[in-house]
Amino acid sequence: MKSISHIEINLDRVQEGLRLWIDARRPDSLFDAEESATENNEARFQLVEGCYYDFQISNPEFVLGDVGENIIQQHRRTTNLGTIAPNIFVGTLLIPLIEKETSKECSKVQLEVQSIKSGYRDDYRDMLELITEKSTDLLLQANSPVSHHFDIDYTKDSQTLYQKFAFIKSIIGSDEFIEAIHRIVTTPVTKWTETTEEKDIRNARRFSNANIRELLKGGKRTKLPESNFLRNYGIETLPERITTNRKTDSVDTPENRFIKHALENFLKFCTDINNKALEFSHKKMENESENMIRELESQLHHTVFKDISRPTTLKLNSPVLQRKEGYREVLRVWLMFDLAAKLIWSGGDDIYSGGKKDIATLYEYWLFFKLLDLFQSIFDIEPKDIENLIKETPDGLNLQLKQGKFTALRGVYDSGNRKLNIRFNYNRSFSGKKKYPHSGSWTTTLRPDYTLSFWPFGISEQEAEKQELIVHVHFDAKYKIANLTDFLEQNTDNDLDEQKAENRKGIYKNADLLKMHAYKDAIRRTGGAYVLYPGDKSINQKGFHEIIPGLGAFPVKPSKTDSGIGELKAFILEIIEHFINRASQREKIAYRTFDIYKNPPESDNVVKEPLPEPYNANRDLIPDDTFALVGYYNSQEQYNWIQRTGLYNFRMGSGAGSLILDKETVSSKYLLLHTSGDTESGDLWKIVSRGPKVYSKDDLIKKGYPSPSQDNYLVIQIELVTDSEFENVSWNFRELANYSTGRASAFPFTTCLTELMKNKIR
């Protein structure tokens, strides 16, 4: 393939002297592939995706027609000039040449658009082959509509017919199939056969019973000499020739007959397709079918097949067909052949239409099957919903793998320690219309390529969403990313300034990263969002300390030997271990989120009064969750003891006025003291002990407590508050919800800081 700066395309077939000139704006982005174009069924002149080219037609009475996606951009005033911008289009670009006066198409200009990825041709073939294999495997399942019979309808649209051919070509044009035929013709299965022939009796070595009878009765006999010892036995003559049996090694076996029959069937199909391609003027299908015909004919012309007769029966249960290398691969292809000929694909327009090779979209479809296999192997869950992927239509059996919600796998995973509900979705939409706590997005509707969801066994998915018990992990296919620096890189201030300038022009280099952030931050209960790309390095950025929440990228490349999916598998296994851990930080956060947001805030739940800022020792000062004990002292003598010792005591037991040790009491951070006759109090103390301790009557006497009347008391350690926000402040404690009047006014009770501050007096 030769790199050139400009090309001149001869259009004499339309008008003598008519020319189309194309100039590349960027070096090494325009090529003449005269030698390799035929082999790859591509156009001779080749562009590169994402580049720009200037074109001019020699006669201004002709223009290049529209092919969609704003690829052809004509000059506003001089329409025979313009720009070709392939964008992300890859494949054969068929550009109509239009005569301006009649607005009729005169011809088509063929240009090939290369992918920026050097191995895209192999990737395209390998991915399409796997999709075909998985699709036909679905049809072979017992619960699929395989019993329905369809004939290939050659009267249908050429694009649908090309889809069918593409499925077949991916099977019989694969390297594995060619290698299988090579194995067969080099080491074919043979059998011993006996052939009879007349042989000079003098050269005979062994005699059968039939030969002995020939000695006595055979024709064309020769008289024996008088001295021959056989005359002693009454034998006077011998036949000149006798019939002998000879064993030979023959390739005309039932198994080889099947191989020849299969190849002839494949050849007939390709010939029929070629005839229809000529009828439809589908040049791409015509060229590809001709290549397949040549390949199959060369295989059938091998000398091995000349000695093989037509089959009378097909013994598909033959051990040779099912086990021997080469034979078993052809048998599998033959079984898939009929099914693949019935397949059409609702997503195929994204792949085949107009000759394009939308590899990025094909990569997304290919990854679906790779992930389905991976998750099925990890969770050991049979994908019961997969039968919905194949649907009978008048055209054939339609592969429904296309944009839209599709649940591919669901079930229960039992780790032995915990059961989890598992759900794997393809293109699941998360609506922006549903309000919290329902599932969905905070803003607009988002639809990741793949979503893997986990929630505890024993609860519905809807209830798990409401209780913050479900976690979604999203994956997006990005074929265009070549390496991690395309996805995530450390930027300098100058880089960020440049990015902002480009963003204002509508250019977003970090769009893939931003999209992962959008999934993680906008879709409720998302644990992580990750890019899958055909590279060789992974990155997993943890949000905090655990495997999720996080962002990252994992390499999964189209390959029959090593797709690199092992790192992704290790990541999923790590997530499973994380979910088995009931003491994870994520579970704590999920509960706090549920507990806080399960009810909307009360309209009067507002605290605007000055409070100590929540940092350092006061980091946990949340007014609703910070509690204060309201305690009573009955004399100045007792108050003096409290001040002197920094202790405060409560009654124990079941009697009136005893302290109830509930969560609010034990976790209280403050103590507000009051005495008889008080209507308000500013006597606020800070509780510094970790909890109340039990003191006996004797213990309090030793501490100097005046006249203890109970046998035991609960005692807390306190100190005066020093926060400036509480200086010169008093509270109307009688307005607190738990305050009791009368004799019970001396009973201790708790209140939260929010309620206390609402009853602040000054």
Spans of all domains in the chain: 2-114, 154-188+253-357, 370-386+402-480+516-592, 616-758
Residue type, 396: G
Structure tokens given for 574: 């790590």
- The count of C-alpha atoms lying within 13 angstroms of the C-alpha of 434, restricted to the half-sphere facing its C-beta, is 17
Asked if residue 114 lies in contact with residue 124, where contact means CB atoms within 8 angstroms, the answer is no
d(CA 68, CA 65) in angstroms, rounded, equals 9
Other residues' Cβ atoms within 10 Å of the Cβ of residue 285: 25
User: Buried b / exposed e across 186-202, counting CB within 10 Å, b at 16+?
Assistant: eebbeeeeeeeeeeebe
Asked if residue 18 lies in contact with residue 58, where contact means CB atoms within 8 angstroms, the answer is yes
Among residues 546, 544, 515, which one has the least CA distance to residue 532? 515
Look at residue 148 in the predicted model and tell me its pLDDT. Answer: 40
Look at residue 387 in the predicted model and tell me its pLDDT. Answer: 62
In 522-566, DSSP assigns E strands to 526-533, 539-542, 550-555
Residue type, 117: K
Look at residue 659 in the predicted model and tell me its pLDDT. Answer: 83
d(CA 112, CA 33) in angstroms, rounded, equals 10
Look at residue 311 in the predicted model and tell me its pLDDT. Answer: 83
Q: Is 436 helix (H, G, I), strand (E, B) or coil?
A: coil
How distant, in Å, are the alpha carbons of 99, 369, 709 from that of 281? 21, 34, 109
Structure tokens given for 604: 């009067």
For 616-758, the fitting CATH number among 1.20.1050, 3.40.50, 3.10.590, 1.10.10 is 3.10.590
Look at residue 632 in the predicted model and tell me its pLDDT. Answer: 95
β-bridge pairing 670-674 and 627-632? parallel
Paired with 539 in beta bridges are 553
Look at residue 440 in the predicted model and tell me its pLDDT. Answer: 94
Residue type, 266: F
For 2-114, the fitting CATH number among 2.60.40, 3.40.50, 3.30.43, 1.10.357 is 2.60.40
Look at residue 140 in the predicted model and tell me its pLDDT. Answer: 57
Q: Is 737 helix (H, G, I), strand (E, B) or coil?
A: coil
User: Buried b / exposed e across 715-751, counting CB within 10 Å, b at 16+?
Assistant: bbbbeebeeeebeebbbebbebeebeeeeeebbbbbb
The segments of the chain whose pLDDT lies below 50 read: 142-150, 505, 507-508
Look at residue 144 in the predicted model and tell me its pLDDT. Answer: 41
SS (H, E, C) 194-224: EEEEEEEHHHCCCCCHHHHHHHHHCCCEEEC
d(CA 415, CA 564) in angstroms, rounded, equals 25
- The count of C-alpha atoms lying within 13 angstroms of the C-alpha of 691, restricted to the half-sphere facing its C-beta, is 7
pTM of the model: 0.75
d(CA 752, CA 762) in angstroms, rounded, equals 18
d(CA 579, CA 163) in angstroms, rounded, equals 43
d(CA 407, CA 497) in angstroms, rounded, equals 43
End-to-end Cα spacing for the chain = 87
Asked if residue 549 lies in contact with residue 558, where contact means CB atoms within 8 angstroms, the answer is no
Look at residue 147 in the predicted model and tell me its pLDDT. Answer: 39
CA 625 to the chain's CA centroid: 43
Q: Is 718 helix (H, G, I), strand (E, B) or coil?
A: strand
Sorted by sequence, the CB contacts under 8 Å of residue 506 that are 6+ apart come out as none
Look at residue 699 in the predicted model and tell me its pLDDT. Answer: 94
- Kind plus residue range of the DSSP H or E element containing 476: strand 471-477
Sorted by sequence, the CB contacts under 8 Å of residue 534 that are 6+ apart come out as 117, 123, 363, 479, 481, 555, 556, 557, 558
Enumerate helices (H) and strands (E) in the chain, giving the number of each: 20, 32
Paired with 649 in beta bridges are 715
Look at residue 729 in the predicted model and tell me its pLDDT. Answer: 94
Asked if residue 367 lies in contact with residue 450, where contact means CB atoms within 8 angstroms, the answer is yes
